[in-house]
Structure 1
Amino acid sequence: MSNFYFNQISIYLINTNNLPNLETIDEKLAKAQFQPCTGLEWSSIGFTNPVEFTSDMVFPAQNTIRIALKKEEKVLPSTVINDLLEEKINLIREVEGRKVGRKEKQQLKDTITDDLLPRAFTKSNNTDAIIDTKRDYLLINQATTSRAEIVLTKLREALGGVEAKLPRTKQSPGSLMTEWLLRGDAAGHFELDCDCELVGLGDNAPVVRIKHHDLTAEEITKLLHSGKVVTQLGLSWNDRVRFVLTDNFTLKRIQFLDIIQEEASGQADDDQSLAYASQILMAEALGELLDELVSYLGGWVLN
Structure 2
Amino acid sequence: MWFKQLTPFVLLEKPEARHLEESLGGSWFVPPQGLDRFSEGFSNPVPFDFDRAVYETEGRLKFCLKREEKILPSGTVNTLLTDKVLKIERNEGRTIGRRERGELRWQIIDDLLPRALTNTSRIYGIFAGRYLLVDTASRNRSENLLVKLREALGGLEARLPHTKQSPGSLMTEWLLLGECGGGFELDCDVALRGVGNVAPKVRVSLKNLTDEDVVRHAQNGMTVTELGLVWRDRIAFVLTDELTFKRIRWLDTVLEESEGADDAQSKAYAEQIIMCSMLEIMLAELLEQLGGLTE
Partner of 2:283: 290
User: What is the distance in 2 between the residues matched to 1:80 and 1:191?
Assistant: 50
Partner of 1:91: 87
Residues 227-274 of structure 1: CA distance to partner in whole angstroms, max 9, x if unpaired?
1110100000011000000011001110111121110122x2111111
1:181-260 equivalence runs, <5 A: 181-260=175-254
Query: Residue 97 of structure 1 aligns to which amino acid in structure 2?
Result: G
Residues 109-158 of structure 1: CA distance to partner in whole angstroms, max 9, x if unpaired?
111111111111100110001101x3x10010011111100100000000
Q: Does 1:178 align with 2:152?
A: no
How does the TM-score come out when normalised to structure 1? 0.95
Query: Residue 138 of structure 2 aligns to which amino acid in structure 1?
Result: T
Asked whether the equivalents of residues 13 and 158 of structure 2 are also in contact (C-alpha less than 8 Å), the reply is no
Query: Residue 9 of structure 2 aligns to which amino acid in structure 1?
Result: Y
Partner of 2:136: 142
Q: Does 1:164 align with 2:158?
A: yes
Gaps of 5+ in 1: none
Q: Does 1:69 align with 2:65?
A: yes
- The sequence identity of aligned pairs, in percent, is 47
State the secondary structure of the residue aligned to 2:3.
coil
Residues 158-207 of structure 1: CA distance to partner in whole angstroms, max 9, x if unpaired?
01110101111111111110001001111221110000001111121111
State the secondary structure of the residue aligned to 1:16.
coil
Residue 15 of structure 1: how far off its partner (Å): 2.3
User: What is the distance in 2 between the residues matched to 1:256 and 1:114?
Assistant: 45
Residue 95 of structure 1: how far off its partner (Å): 1.4
Q: Does 1:278 align with 2:275?
A: no
1:12-27 equivalence runs, <5 A: 12-17=9-14, 19=15, 21-27=16-22
User: What is the distance in 2 between the residues matched to 1:105 and 1:180?
Assistant: 57
Query: What is the aligned residue count?
Result: 294
95-104 or 31-40: bigger deviation: 95-104
Change (3 A) 1:270 1:16: farther
Asked whether the equivalents of residues 182 and 289 of structure 2 are also in contact (C-alpha less than 8 Å), the reply is no
Residue 87 of structure 1: how far off its partner (Å): 0.7
State the secondary structure of the residue aligned to 2:140.
helix
User: What is the distance in 1 between the residues matched to 2:202 and 2:22?
Assistant: 49
Asked whether the equivalents of residues 45 and 54 of structure 2 are also in contact (C-alpha less than 8 Å), the reply is yes
Which runs of structure 1 show a deviation greater than 3 angstroms over 4 or more consecutive aligned residues? none
Gaps of 5+ in 2: none
Specify which of 43, 46, 60 is matched with residue 48 of structure 1. Answer: 43
User: What is the distance in 2 between the residues matched to 1:25 and 1:15?
Assistant: 16
Asked whether the equivalents of residues 8 and 131 of structure 2 are also in contact (C-alpha less than 8 Å), the reply is yes
User: What is the distance in 2 between the residues matched to 1:247 and 1:23?
Assistant: 36
Partner of 1:6: 3
Residue 9 of structure 1: how far off its partner (Å): 0.7
Partner of 1:58: 54
State the secondary structure of the residue aligned to 2:259.
helix
User: What is the distance in 2 between the residues matched to 1:292 and 1:10?
Assistant: 16
How does the TM-score come out when normalised to structure 2? 0.97
Query: Residue 26 of structure 1 aligns to which amino acid in structure 2?
Result: E
State the secondary structure of the residue aligned to 2:90.
helix
Query: Residue 274 of structure 1 aligns to which amino acid in structure 2?
Result: K
Query: Residue 149 of structure 1 aligns to which amino acid in structure 2?
Result: E
Residue 16 of structure 1: how far off its partner (Å): 3.0
